[in-house]
Structure 1
C-alpha cells in the first residue's frame, strides 16, 4: 500500500493542530497564567513533527484509493488525539496521560465526556483548547461523512454520495475542495451562535467556547454545571436551536447557499429527526409534570433542552435528569442511541438508518401478507438499493454487538450494571454523560479506573468513525496486496 497520501494528510493536519495551540497560549498569557508556556512548547513540537511528516511525504500522485482512505480515517483521530493530549498532560491540571488522552479523544470525537473538575476556576487556555478540539472534530466529521464514508459504503452512507465524488480516486482532491465550503458554513454557524449566546447573557469568552461546542454537538462547557450554570431560558433556547442546526445534513446547507432552501424542509430525514425530538420532548414534559417540581414553561424547557442534547449527542445538561424518575432514565438511555442526521456533526445510529430499518420491516410484513406482490422500497422519493439496506442492517447489528461487548468489558473493570451499560452507550454513541451518580449528567469520569477509561476511549473512536472504518483495518486481508 502506498502510504504517502496518508502520511501527507496526517502531517498537514497535525501541523495545523499544533498551530492552533498558540490560541490558548495567547488566552493564558493575557491573564498571566503560566500554562501559556505549555501550549507554546506543545504547539512547537506538534507543528514541527507534523510539518516534517508532510514535507517528507509530499509530492507524487495526489490521489487516494479506498484502502488508503480506510487507513487514514482510522489512524488520523488516534494520532491527533495523542498530540492534542500533550498540553493537557503537561498543564497545571496534573492529569495522568490516560486522563489527558481520554479528554483529548472525547474532544476530537465530540463525545463530551470529561475527567476534569473545577472548570469554573480553570485557566482560559484549557477551556479554549477543549472547545477548539470539539470544533475541529465536528468539522472533520462533517467532511469525512460527506467525502469519505459514502465512497467506502459504510453503514448505508453510499446513499448520500455527492455527485462530485464519482470514484474513490477523487476523494483527496474533492475533499480538499469541499472542506473549504464546509468550513465557511461552519464558521458562519459558530459566529451566529456565539453572538446569540452573548446577546442571551453569556460572557464573550463563554459564548465563543460554547458556540464551538454547540455547533459541533460536542458538549464541553466552561462550567462544572454545564449550561445549567446559567439557569437562563434564553440561553437554553439558543442552545436548542444550534444543537438542532448542527445535527442537520450539511450538504443541504450547501444547497441553501446556492439558493435552494426547499430540500432542507422536504428531506424525509430532517422531518423524521424533528418528529423524534418532538415526541421525546412531549414524553419528558409529561414526566416533568408528574415527577418533579417543574411546571409550565420551565418544565417544557427542561424537557426540550435535555432531550435535544441527548438525541443530538451534544451532552449538555441543565439538570440532573437522574432525579426525574425511572421512566425518564429509561427514555434517556434509549435516546442515547438515536443520533441526528447523516452528514452532520451529530452521532449515534443516525435517523436515516432508523428509517431504512422501518422500510425494511414494512417491506417484509407486506411480502408475508402478499407473497406474489411486487413492492418497491423508496427513500426520499428514490428507490432504495439492496446494498444500502444490507449495509444499514449490518451496521446496526455490529453497533449493538460492540455496545454489549463494551458494556461487558466495563463491568469486568468494576463498574456497576447501570454505569457499564450507560458508559458503553454514551461512548459508542458519542453523547458524553452516562447515567448514575458517578458518570451521570451531574458527575464526571474522573473516578473511573484507567482500564475503563481506555475501554471508553476505544468506544468513542469506534462510534465516531462508524465502526467498520476502524474494524476493517484489523483484518489481515486488508493488508494484502
Structure 2
C-alpha cells in the first residue's frame, strides 16, 4: 500500500515537469522527470513484490501504514526539490516536502516570484494531496485506534442508521469528489478576480488544504487589491468544516452542518476572534489595505485554521495581537476537515468534563453522564482526549526548550515550536514571522521543526506509539 502511494505521488511529478519543460527550464524539468521515474520504479516494485490479499488491518498495521506512508511520501517529495537546481540542501528539501504534505506552510524558499513555475506547482500539489490524505486518514484509521478521542467520529458502527453511505470506500470517494469540486470553484473564483491560471491554481490547492504555501513572497497580501482575500477567507472556513457533513448535506440533510456542535463552536470562535481583532485594529489604526474587518477576518481565520496565509505583518500590530495569534495556533478547525492543531471538539469535551467535575464536587453521589453531539461520551474516550492534551503540550514544551537551548530567541522558540506542532506555518518575531521564512535557521533547528510538523500532523500520539520499543516487541 505504501508502494502504491509512492508511485502515485511520483506520477504527479509529471505535471510540474511538463510545465517547466514548456517554460524552457530544462534543469528543473529534468529533476522532476528523473524523480518521477525513480519514484514510480521504487514504489511500483515495492507494491509488486509485496502484493497479496489484505484480509484486515489491525491497529498495529494501521500505525505502521500511516506513519510509514507519510514518511515515505515525504522522502519521495523531497527528491525533485533537492535536484531542481534551486540551491536547496537535503535538509531544506526535506523540510519543504514535510511542510507541504503536512499542510504546514512553513517555507525555507525565498524569491518565490522568480522561482520555476513547476516548483511552485509542486509545492501546491503536495499540500493538496496532504489535505485529502489527512481527511481519509482521520476517517479510516484514527477512530479505530481511538487516538485523542477520534473514536467519536467512527463511521462504520454496528448501528446501520449511523452509516451515511453503505461502504466506507464510497464515503471516501464522495469526500474526495467534494474536495475536488471545492478546489475547482475556488480556482475559478481566483481567476475571475484577475489571478493568472498558475497562481489561481496554486492558491486554490493551498486554500482547500489549509496549507498556506503561496506563489508569492508577499503571500496573499499580493492579491488584496483584487479581493482575493475575501474568497480565501470563505474557502478556508469551508475547508475547516467536517467533509463528512458535506456528504450528509448533499444527500438531503443540510441542517446537519449547523446541528453539529463542533461546527457551531468553530464558527463562534472565528466570529469572536474577528470581532476582537477588528476592534483592536480600529483602536490602534494598524490596519492597512483592505480595511480592519477584512484584515482581522482573513488573518485570524488563516491562523485558527492552520492555513498560514497572511495579508499583513500582524506581528507589528502590538503585543495584544501577538498574544492573540499565539493562542489562535492552538485552536484548529473541526475533526474530519483539512485543518490541524488541537481541534474544536477536544476543547468542547474538556470543557464538558470540567463542568461535570465541578458538579460532582457539589453532589458527590450524583451520576452525571457526559454528552457530545447527542451521544454519551464514555470514560475511555474522555481519558483519550485528556491524554492527548497532556502529550501534545508536553511535546510542545520540550520542543520549545530544545529550540531555546539551540540559541533561538524566546519569541521564535515559543512560536516556532507552536507553529510546527500545530502545522500552522508562520510563527512570530522577525525571523519566522509572517514576513519572514525559516531559511535562516540552522540545520538542527530545521530537523527538530520537521519532526514536530510530522508528529503534529499525525496527532502526536501515533508517532510516539510507533517509536515506542514496546510497539516492536513480539
TM tier, smaller: over 0.9
Aligned residue number for residue 62 of structure 2: 69
Residue 165 and residue 49 in structure 1: after superposition, are their counterparts in 2 closer, same or farther (change >3 A)?
Answer: farther
Distance 2:222 2:230 in 1: 15
Q: Which runs of 5+ in 2 are unaligned?
A: 160-165
Residue 362 of structure 2 corresponds to residue 398 of structure 1: no
Structure 1 gaps of 5+ residues are 1-8, 167-172
1:418 counterpart residue number: 411
CA drift at 1:253: 1.2
| Residue of structure 2 equivalent to 1:448 | 441
Give 1:42-441 correspondences, 5 Å limit: 42-163=35-156, 176-232=169-225, 234-294=227-287, 298-441=291-434
d(CA) in 1 for partners of 2:108, 2:466: 29
Q: 1:232 to 1:385 in 2, by over 3 A?
A: farther
Contact in 1 for aligned 2:224/2:290 (Cα 8 Å) = no
> Does the C-alpha gap of structure 1 residues 443 and 295 become closer, same or farther in structure 2, counting only changes over 3 Å?
closer
Q: What's the TM-score once normalised by structure 1's chain length?
A: 0.95
1:49-99 CA distance string (max 9 Å, x none): 000000011113342111000111112111111110011001121100000
* Distance apart, 1:376 and its partner CA: 2.2
How far did 1:283 drift?
Answer: 1.1
**2: CA distance, partners of 1:389 / 1:177:** 30
What is the Cα deviation at residue 164 of structure 1? 6.1
Q: Which residue is 2:5 aligned to? A: 13
Q: Deviations over 1:220-245 (max 9, x none)?
A: 00000100011236211110011011
Name the CA distance, whole Å, in 2 between partners of 1:337 and 1:308. 13
In structure 1, what is the Cα distance between the partners aligned to 2:56 and 2:168? 11
1:318–1:296 distance in 2 versus 1, CA, 3 Å: closer
Q: Determine whether 1:469 maps to 2:462.
A: yes
Q: Would you identify which runs of 4 or more consecutive aligned residues in structure 1 move more than 4 Å? A: 173-177
For 1:358-402, what per-residue CA distance to the aligned partner results, in whole angstroms no more than 9, with x for missing partners?
001111111112223332211112212111111100001110000
C-alpha separation in 1, matches of 2:121 and 2:438: 20
Partners of 2:106 and 2:437 within 8 A in 1 = yes
1:30 aligns with 2:22: yes
Contact 1:143 1:178 in 2 (8 A): no
Q: TM-score if structure 2 supplies the norm length? A: 0.96
The verdict on how the C-alpha distance between 1:184 and 1:360 changes in structure 2, with shifts beyond 3 A counting, is same
**Number of aligned residue pairs:** 467
Aligned equivalents of 1:471 and 1:201: distance in 2?
Answer: 46
Deviations 1:27-69 (Å, cap 9, x if unpaired)? 1111111111111010000011000000011113342111000
3-state SS in 2 of match to 1:371: coil
- Match of 2:412, SS state, is helix
